Structure 1
Amino acid sequence: MPVYSMTGYASAQLGTPQGHTATESVASPSRRLGLEIRSVNSRFLDLSLRLPDELRALEPVLRTLVTQKIKRGKVEVRAWLEQADASALPDINPRLVQRLSSLQDTVQAWLPQARPLSVAEVLRFSTGTSAAPEDWSGPITALAHQSLDALLQARAQEGTRLATMLHERVSQLRTLALQSVPLVPRLVEQQRQRFMERWKEAMGLAEGSATPEAAQDRALSEATAFAIRIDVAEEVTRLQSHLDEIERLLHQGGDIGKRLDFLIQELHREANTLGSKSAALELTRISVDMKVLIEQMREQVQNIE
């Protein structure tokens, strides 16, 4: 299963062929139905639909279709109806228009805050026709499937790019982790030598104040405590484990964004701990470089479904 980004856009239009009637679940031949879907990143699925009044009853159908295929993201679905041919506009009945104007004046006299009729509403009420309402359920379902498939394809393409970038950052983090491993024994040995040199100096300055064996044991104990304090083997092991899990999820695909986000937090925690244990500029540099890479990963993981 591919990795999906939460960012995408798709649209589709359906022009109704001539010769169909409302009983065949299609629209008037002079009208065109359009549908577009936009999505951006969000912690959860935040779905909003903008539909004209004629399609408002189909909102549950659209909501069901979207939630079946999209799990996360701020998704906006917009549908519209437009005339396919301006010459096919209906003729207006002047008497009905006058009647509508009179009714509007009466309503606004009683309710001054009432809004005026729109042109679309005037056209709808003044055509003088009594045709049965058009059934858009079939066309809008077809358009929704078409748009969702295109949206998922766009999100999958973007998700592939994000996954490639994350694989690259994982590889770079592994390299940095391996660079830190041989530094700790080297630092421990250097510090042990320093402790022993200080012990010898102390023995020369204070002869007879302490037994050589006791002073040497004290120096070795200090060196051991230092080694324990700067040991980052546990952090490196956990970091490698988190990187393994990230790569496994990227190969698995699907709904992995939340789990990746959690693993990024864990990576950042290990990099912080490694930096706090740093006893050399080289280890500090490795920790900083790790944090930069992890922050880049965090920004991209926010866009994965």
Structure 2
Amino acid sequence: MVHSMTAFARQAHDDDWGSLQIELRSVNQRYLEPHFRLPESLRDLEPLFREALRTRLARGKVECSLRFDPARDDGGLAVSRERLAELARALAEVRDAVPDAPMPDALALLDHPGVLESQGPDLDTIKAAAVALFQATLDDLIAGRAREGDKLAGLIRERLAAVNGQVAEVRRLMPQILARQRALLLERLESVKAELDPQRLEAELTLIAQKADVDEELDRLATHVAEVERQLTQKGPVGRRLDFLMQELNREANTLSSKSVVASTTRCAVELKVLIEQMREQIQNIE
């Protein structure tokens, strides 16, 4: 199944301790390029999120934004009696050693690390909720990329059908083109009343036919179209293969154009190039 690299997903989770909201946004990029905006308290989740993206996505620039809003009633603050007792013992030793040393006031004691403890929710609980929410949002993002990929595949198939139509048209015109070229050459010879050896005339006509013969190019165009169709049904990333096939299709269209001897085949070659370029633009968004 074809997946697009362009999608957006957002999910939120509310709990007694507050709310979480995650947004994932992806656009086309040659490689996988994740970017994260996480709150400091949840910053250590980034490696886990990065690995999840690397496991499930192959290409695309992915922006991940995580927002955490704690509940207003977060349980307040409490004094750690154990930490405060340790600090008091240390201050007593300082007083014994340096009697004139100024002692800190109550606010300074509270400002000491570890004396005040938050009575809010367990951070591990919040992290577990954030991880679950990220996985659910990533599922939504991948589903969105799949839906968009289906649309891109449909557009590409429409143009593949048009390419096959142009190939069929050139095949239909080839007998008329060769006959017209032969008739034009004979008319020119007749107009100048040139006398040409029959063998030389046949050699010239054969050379013209060879230059105008594009069966090989038409066969390769049909082969590449079939391979594009096959790639559209494959599992996993196919964007790079499709891009390569567009290059091959364009090469054959250029050769067809260079061999064109009448306006009808030139028009077909131009139309082929337009169709191939339209497919190439769509393929830039395919993973």
Given the two structures, how large is their TM-score scaled by the length of structure 1?
Answer: 0.76
CA–CA separation in structure 2 for the residues paired with 1:176 and 1:89: 73
Residue number in structure 2 paired with 1:11 = 10
Give per-residue Cα distances to partners, 1:169-200, cap 9 Å, x unaligned: 10010011000013222222222223334444
Residue number in structure 2 paired with 1:129 = 117
Per the alignment, in what secondary structure is the counterpart of residue 4 of structure 1?
coil
Which among 43, 47, 50 is matched to residue 56 of structure 1?
43
Which amino acid is 1:229 matched to?
A: K
Q: Does structure 1 residue 34 correspond to structure 2 residue 21?
A: yes
Give per-residue Cα distances to partners, 1:98-133, cap 9 Å, x unaligned: xxxxxxxxxxxxxxxxxxxxxxxxxxx9x9434586
Which among 44, 59, 65 is matched to residue 52 of structure 2?
65
Which among 138, 158, 164 is matched to residue 174 of structure 1?
164
The question of whether the paired residues in 2 share the 8 Å contact of 1:35 and 1:144 is answered with yes
Per the alignment, in what secondary structure is the counterpart of residue 182 of structure 1?
helix
Matches within 5 A, 1:86-105: 86=72, 90=76
Displacement after TM superposition at 1:83 (Å): 3.0
Which shifted more, 30-39 or 189-198? Answer: 189-198
The question of whether the paired residues in 2 share the 8 Å contact of 1:10 and 1:148 is answered with yes
CA–CA separation in structure 2 for the residues paired with 1:276 and 1:246: 24
Q: Does structure 1 residue 250 correspond to structure 2 residue 239?
A: no
Residue number in structure 2 paired with 1:20 = none
Query: Equivalent pairs: percent with the same residue?
Result: 41
Per the alignment, in what secondary structure is the counterpart of residue 224 of structure 2?
helix
Cα 1:182–1:175 shift into 2, 3 Å: same
Displacement after TM superposition at 1:4 (Å): 0.6
Matches within 5 A, 1:124-273: 128-131=116-119, 134-135=123-124, 136-201=126-191, 204=193, 215-273=197-255
Residue number in structure 1 paired with 2:269 = 287
Given the two structures, how large is their TM-score scaled by the length of structure 2?
Answer: 0.81
Displacement after TM superposition at 1:247 (Å): 0.4
CA–CA separation in structure 2 for the residues paired with 1:14 and 1:223: 78
Which amino acid is 1:82 matched to?
A: D
CA–CA separation in structure 1 for the residues paired with 2:118 and 2:178: 92
Per the alignment, in what secondary structure is the counterpart of residue 227 of structure 1?
helix
Displacement after TM superposition at 1:166 (Å): 0.7
Which amino acid is 1:281 matched to?
A: A
Give per-residue Cα distances to partners, 1:232-257, cap 9 Å, x unaligned: 11111111000000001112242101
Which among 249, 253, 260 is matched to residue 278 of structure 1?
260
Residue number in structure 2 paired with 1:98 = none
Which shifted more, 172-181 or 221-230? Answer: 221-230
Gaps of 5+ in 1: 17-28, 92-124, 206-211
CA–CA separation in structure 2 for the residues paired with 1:180 and 1:269: 17
The question of whether the paired residues in 1 share the 8 Å contact of 2:74 and 2:119 is answered with no
CA–CA separation in structure 2 for the residues paired with 1:164 and 1:58: 38
Give per-residue Cα distances to partners, 1:198-251, cap 9 Å, x unaligned: 44455x46xxxxxx6x62222221111111111111111111000000001112
Which among 246, 268, 278 is matched to residue 296 of structure 1?
278
The question of whether the paired residues in 1 share the 8 Å contact of 2:75 and 2:118 is answered with no
The question of whether the paired residues in 2 share the 8 Å contact of 1:195 and 1:219 is answered with no
Q: How many residues align?
A: 252
CA–CA separation in structure 2 for the residues paired with 1:195 and 1:11: 69
Displacement after TM superposition at 1:260 (Å): 0.4
Per the alignment, in what secondary structure is the counterpart of residue 142 of structure 1?
helix
Cα RMSD (Å): 2.4
